[in-house]
Amino acid sequence: MPTNMSLFSVNAILIVSTDDRSRILTRYYSAPHAPPSSSSHPGANPYPSVKEQKAFEKGLLEKTNKQTSDVILYDGRVVVFKMEGDVMLYVVGGGDENEIMLFGVVLALRDALAILLKNSTDKRTLVENYDLVSLAIDEIIDDGIILETDPVVVASRVSKPPAQDITSVKNIDLSEQGLLNAWEFGKLKLAERMRQL
């Protein structure tokens, strides 16, 4: 049993295009409470520069492009991945991390994106809805700590308000006469309250 237990379990989450091998969204995490004595602790970010990150992503994409499994060990890290349309979704954890837990994260991300983007998880849709994708990742993982793996809960926290709530705003009269009526109504109600005191 490890003596250095932590909730930190995800080193990186990546969304990479398989067509042109470009990064769509990448997040690398370092453990928030690193031991001060060592710079090579399990939660340390092994890819601190963008150049190293891109080299890691390129090698990872080459290795997983023709794979039939969903879990590999790459560069001493457990990597779980799913291909959706023309993009690859990766979750990278430490070498001793639980693969099933990481696989739950990649499935939660895939299913939450399917709900949010109406089963259209491709590069173009992800770029157009970058805000929703980024918020979904933030709801699933915070600083390398897994917060939520239920895609319905993630999608409900991220999604835009339903259209039926917006229709009630359309019934408000914002013309000059409508505003004067609202002012008179407010004055009348305030005067009634003042008389009651």
According to DSSP, residue 145 is labeled E
Q: Compute the distance between CA of residue 35 and CA of residue 146 in angstroms, rounded to an integer.
A: 21
Work out the average pLDDT over 51-80: 88
Asked if pLDDT for residue 185 goes beyond 70, the answer is yes
pLDDT at 155 over 70: yes
Mean pLDDT of the chain: 83
pLDDT at 165 over 60: no
Instruction: Tell me the C-alpha distance between 79 and 74, whole Å.
Output: 7
Looking at the chain, the whole-number percentage of residues with pLDDT higher than 90 is: 31
CB 130 within 8 A of CB 25: yes
Beta carbons of 31 and 44 less than 8 angstroms apart? yes
Backbone conformation region of residue 21, classed left if phi is above 0, alpha if psi is from -120 to 50, else beta: left
pLDDT at residue 32, as a whole number: 72
Residue 81: other Cβ atoms inside 10 A: 24
Chain segment 19-50, per-residue pLDDT in tens = 888 899 999 988 776 665 555 555 567 787 88
pLDDT band at 135 (very low <50, low <70, confident <90, very high): very high
DSSP 8-state class, residue 8: B
- State the pLDDT at residue 12: 92
d(Cα 85, Cα 126) in Å, to the nearest integer? 11
Q: Which amino acid is at 51?
A: K
In terms of Cα–Cα distance, which of 155, 81, 148 is closest to 118?
A: 155
